[in-house]
């Protein structure tokens, strides 16, 4: 049997990590939990630390002590400063026998049992003496005094021991180790992104419904005022005319039907061209510049598919799937058919064709990155080979480490997780279909704890152009408020498709969860100043998100008790500070719900024997609570829930 990788001390199950050895994920300014199983033979006490550095450098950036939390598990927190830049990093967990603490423990026991400890006194003196060369001057003086006291046979035994067992001495020796004592665990890769990968607020729109780029530029301030920092544009490229779809995905388009923006490509060009009705490249550049001036960024849709009129179809027919009769196969997701779209064959038989295709797809990204785009929403990545993403994302990030990729993959859980593992910065999720108390608690717990929390960053969307789900279907404004509040406070990043603030709620049919009169197939001008708009509510929620660091981190979500299925209670805690937010949400958009809660006050950092304040950030009211069973009453006509900032009264 091979013993490779095992030393005297075992360092195992190191986190954060991914299942397949790809880099785990973190962001600048984040507090990253680091942990490992550390054990050895015998009964010696162990100590451990994590050391963190840039992958291309030997220079150590951080050293973090790990604490023994029981059952051979050691844990610590790696604080990544805001001064870091996006890129590739690595860390290693190191462990050693803590000879001083082991000696300290054993000599106390022996002395307490009345046993002779003459040999142990010299053993301790020799141990401390061996550490002297590693110490700073102040600590060295303290240790020298302890060595002298241990060897001073003229002093009483209690005095000799006290000098060597002193807590201040122990504190000065914490983490002090000779190099030959150290066993290193495996080197663990860690990719660090800019903070927007962890915390962002997206607004999706179709530029053609805003009269092109000029109208979209005029719309930006209102989107910014609602608290969104990211504007995601549906595809802006030329749209094919062959097999163009009409309204509501009908097979025959009328002369004024604009077609689906995802049917990319026409005589004007393909993925690096702009639909002439939207404006020019200069107009696009002005839009990107305006967004940046407002503190926002523009995201483009990266949809690797073509209309029958895309230049690639005639120039590179080998890049597509062909039927036995020689025709090119259009896209299908039975029973849905997309006759206006040709899927790309990412694995042609000839290796040279594959390399040419993959390079062309990468060059599309490079084209838009050169025009200031730093984030892409990737359409249906699960319908392309994992190997392609494992190649193109690291390749692009090697030159542009600040570029982010959002995976729009509503697919099987393991496929979604793998896409995140191999490089996608953030991921769409099943949130739109998680509506009950149990479903939400189970799903968010899964997303916010290891193993997924080590590498998959979820983004919650209450709606998309394709999805009008759950209580939103024919739902009242209260349903829209509660689903937005959940999306915005359960995870750090969320997005909203335009029209949500106007409570657009008509489904295509009882069976089809898409919108009737879908904006995918028609231009949809809206009256943004219409009465009843939820824009003020959206603004308030997003302002709360910006004000509370606890809502900007994924880990640390905890669910608390309530007897009603309609009342969901959860807390978010900022690991780097004292910010604590408790959310109590009424999942019933039609009726008043009231209940007595059961809070884990220890997890909230609140006292169990004195009052504390719960300030509702949505309404401005402050409640004074005492104990772990406060009463709540939630009327959906007034607010979908409480977003409570908790503080000790003292």
Residues labelled catalytic: 379, 408
List the structure tokens of 335.
């029973």
Residues facing residue 266 across a β-bridge: 269
List the structure tokens of 504.
């657009």
Any idea which residue has 């388009």 for tokens?
253
DSSP 239: B
Helix ranges (DSSP H) in 174-231: 212-225
User: In 3-state terms, the chain is what percent helix, strand and coil (to 5)?
Assistant: 35, 25, 40
Angle between helix 535-547 and helix 212-225 axes, rounded to 10 deg: 60
DSSP 611: -
Q: What are phi and psi of 296, to 5 degrees?
A: -120, 165
Helix (H, G, I), strand (E, B) or coil at 76: strand
List the structure tokens of 603.
């997890």
Neighbours of 590 (CB within 10 A): 13
User: Using alpha carbons only, what angle is made at residue 404 by residues 399 and 407, rounded to the nearest 5 degrees?
Assistant: 130
- Asked if residues 226 and 539 have their Cβ atoms less than 8 Å apart, the reply is yes
- Asked if residues 80 and 28 have their Cβ atoms less than 8 Å apart, the reply is yes
219/296 Cα distance (integer angstroms): 13
- Asked if residues 308 and 242 have their Cβ atoms less than 8 Å apart, the reply is yes
Helix (H, G, I), strand (E, B) or coil at 618: coil
DSSP 22: P
632/502 Cα distance (integer angstroms): 29
User: Using alpha carbons only, what angle is made at residue 631 by residues 625 and 632, rounded to the nearest 5 degrees?
Assistant: 110
Distance of CA 296 to the CA centre of its chain: 19
User: Using alpha carbons only, what angle is made at residue 69 by residues 61 and 65, rounded to the nearest 5 degrees?
Assistant: 20
368/223 Cα distance (integer angstroms): 23
- Asked if residues 489 and 643 have their Cβ atoms less than 8 Å apart, the reply is yes
List the structure tokens of 443.
């799903």
- Asked if residues 355 and 392 have their Cβ atoms less than 8 Å apart, the reply is no
Instruction: Give the torsion through C-alpha atoms of 57, 456, 373, 192, to 10 deg.
Output: -20
Residues facing residue 264 across a β-bridge: 239
């Amino acid at each position: 049997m091979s013993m490779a990788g095992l030393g005297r001390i075992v360092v195992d199950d190191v986190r954060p990590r991914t299942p397949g050895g790809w880099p785990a994920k973190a962001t600048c300014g984040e507090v990253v939990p680091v942990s490992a199983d550390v054990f050895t033979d015998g009964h010696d006490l162990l100590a451990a630390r994590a050391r963190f550095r840039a992958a291309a450098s030997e220079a150590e950036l951080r050293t973090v002590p790990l604490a023994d939390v029981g059952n051979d598990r050691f844990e610590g927190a790696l604080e990544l400063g805001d001064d870091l830049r996006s890129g590739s990093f690595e860390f290693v967990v190191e462990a050693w026998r803590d000879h001083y603490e082991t000696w300290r423990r054993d000599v106390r026991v022996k002395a307490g049992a009345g046993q002779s400890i003459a040999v142990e006194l010299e053993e301790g003196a020799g141990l401390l003496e061996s550490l002297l060369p590693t110490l700073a001057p102040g600590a060295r003086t303290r240790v020298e005094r302890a060595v002298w006291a241990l060897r001073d046979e003229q002093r009483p035994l209690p005095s000799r021991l006290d000098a060597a067992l002193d807590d201040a001495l122990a504190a000065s020796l914490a983490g002090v180790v000779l190099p030959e004592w150290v066993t290193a665990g495996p080197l663990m890769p860690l990719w660090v992104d800019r903070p927007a990968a962890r915390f962002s607020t997206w607004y999706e729109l179709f530029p053609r419904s805003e009269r092109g780029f000029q109208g979209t530029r005029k719309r930006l301030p209102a989107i910014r005022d609602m608290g969104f920092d990211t504007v995601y544009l549906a595809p802006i490229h030329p749209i094919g005319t062959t097999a163009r779809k009409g309204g509501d995905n009908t097979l025959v388009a009328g002369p004024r039907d604009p077609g689906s923006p995802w049917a990319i490509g026409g005589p004007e060009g393909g993925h690096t061209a702009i639909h002439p009705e939207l404006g020019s490249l200069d107009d696009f550049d002005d839009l990107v510049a305006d967004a940046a001036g407002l503190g926002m960024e523009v995201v483009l849709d990266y949809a690797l598919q073509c209309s029958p009129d895309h230049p690639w179809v005639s120039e590179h027919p080998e890049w597509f799937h062909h039927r036995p009769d020689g025709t090119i196969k259009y896209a299908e997701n039975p029973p849905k058919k997309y006759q206006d779209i040709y899927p790309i064959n990412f694995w042609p038989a000839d290796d040279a064709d594959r390399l040419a295709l993959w390079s062309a797809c990468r060059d599309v990204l490079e084209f838009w990155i050169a025009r200031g785009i730093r984030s892409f929403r990737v359409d249906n990545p699960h319908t392309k080979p994992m190997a392609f993403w494992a190649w193109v994302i690291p390749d692009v990030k090697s030159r542009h480490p600040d570029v982010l990729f959002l995976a729009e993959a509503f697919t099987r859980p393991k496929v979604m997780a793998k896409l995140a593992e191999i490089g996608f910065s953030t991921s769409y999720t099943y949130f739109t279909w998680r509506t009950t108390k149990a479903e939400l608690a189970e799903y968010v717990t899964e997303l916010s704890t290891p193993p997924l929390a080590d590498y998959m960053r979820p983004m919650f969307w209450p709606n998309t152009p394709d999805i009008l789900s759950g209580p939103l279907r024919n739902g009242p404004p209260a349903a829209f408020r509660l689903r937005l509040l959940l999306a915005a406070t359960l995870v750090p990043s969320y997005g909203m498709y335009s029209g949500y603030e106007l409570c657009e709620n008509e489904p295509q049919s009882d069976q089809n969860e898409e919108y009737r009169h879908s904006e995918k197939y028609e231009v949809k001008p809206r009256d943004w100043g219409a009465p009843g708009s939820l824009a003020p509510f959206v603004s308030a929620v997003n302002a709360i998100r910006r004000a509370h660091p606890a809502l900007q981190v994924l880990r640390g979500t905890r669910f608390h008790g309530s007897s009603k299925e309609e009342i969901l209670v959860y807390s978010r805690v900022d690991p780097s500070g004292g910010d604590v937010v408790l959310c109590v949400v009424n999942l019933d958009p039609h009726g008043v719900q009231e209940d007595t809660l059961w809070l884990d006050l220890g997890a909230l950092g609140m006292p169990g024997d004195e009052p504390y304040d719960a300030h509702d950030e949505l309404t401005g009211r402050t409640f004074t609570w005492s104990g772990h069973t406060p009463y709540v009453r939630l009327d959906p006509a007034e607010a979908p829930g409480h977003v409570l900032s908790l503080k000790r009264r003292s």
